[in-house]
């Protein structure tokens, strides 16, 4: 396993107390796989970018929806506002081949790794 961690000081922020996104990051032999909870968001509400060739950035906006003009809220915990997560990618990934899909509110991002190239070098006699 490599030394992959979210960027410490900028790993997550939000404009509200509930604006973060839960993320799982799995590394196997061929891929880095991110699973990010984004229930209720449309594709156009989420932006996925590679910044500077080595930082995976996921951001978006959770809209508050239509507020009722009457009634009394007893609890309101669903997140609203902006979110941003940044992850430092290792050098051995193919940033130009990243894929992503949303399935039932879970964004799955697949980052393929570069294959280790090994070449045998013949040793000649002098």
Q: How confident is the model at residue 6 (pLDDT cuts 50, 70, 90)?
A: very low
Domains in the chain with CATH codes:
10-64+77-112 (2.60.40.790)
Q: Taking the mean position of all CA atoms in its chain, how far away is CA 108?
A: 8
At 65 the pLDDT is 64
DSSP label at residue 37: E
On the question of pLDDT at 101 being above 60, the answer is: yes
Position 106 pLDDT exceeds 60 = yes
Q: Read off the DSSP letter of residue 69.
A: S
d(C-alpha 14, C-alpha 82), whole Å: 5
Q: What is the pLDDT of residue 38?
A: 92
pLDDT, tens digit, 9 for 90 and up, residues 20-71:
789 999 999 999 999 999 998 998 999 999 999 899 999 999 887 666 778 8
Question: Is 94 a residue whose pLDDT tops 70?
Answer: yes
- Is residue 21 within 8 A of residue 40, CB to CB? The reply is no
Structure tokens, 64? 């508050």
- Taking the model in full, what pTM does it have? 0.74
Burial of 9 (0-12, 13-18, 19+ CB in 10 A): exposed
Of all residues in the chain, the percent with pLDDT exceeding 90 is 51
């Amino acid at each position: 396993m490599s030394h992959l961690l979210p960027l410490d000081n900028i790993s997550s922020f939000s404009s509200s107390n509930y604006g973060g996104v839960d993320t799982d990051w799995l590394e196997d032999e061929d891929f880095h796989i991110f699973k990010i909870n984004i229930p209720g968001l449309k594709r156009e509400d989420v932006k996925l970018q590679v910044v500077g060739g080595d930082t995976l950035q996921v951001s978006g906006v959770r809209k508050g929806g239509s507020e009722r003009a009457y009634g009394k809220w007893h609890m309101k915990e669903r997140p609203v506002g902006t979110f941003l997560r940044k992850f430092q990618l290792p050098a051995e990934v193919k940033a130009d081949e990243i894929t992503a899909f949303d399935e039932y509110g879970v964004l799955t991002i697949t980052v393929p790794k570069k294959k280790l190239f090994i070449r045998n070098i013949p040793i000649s006699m002098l």
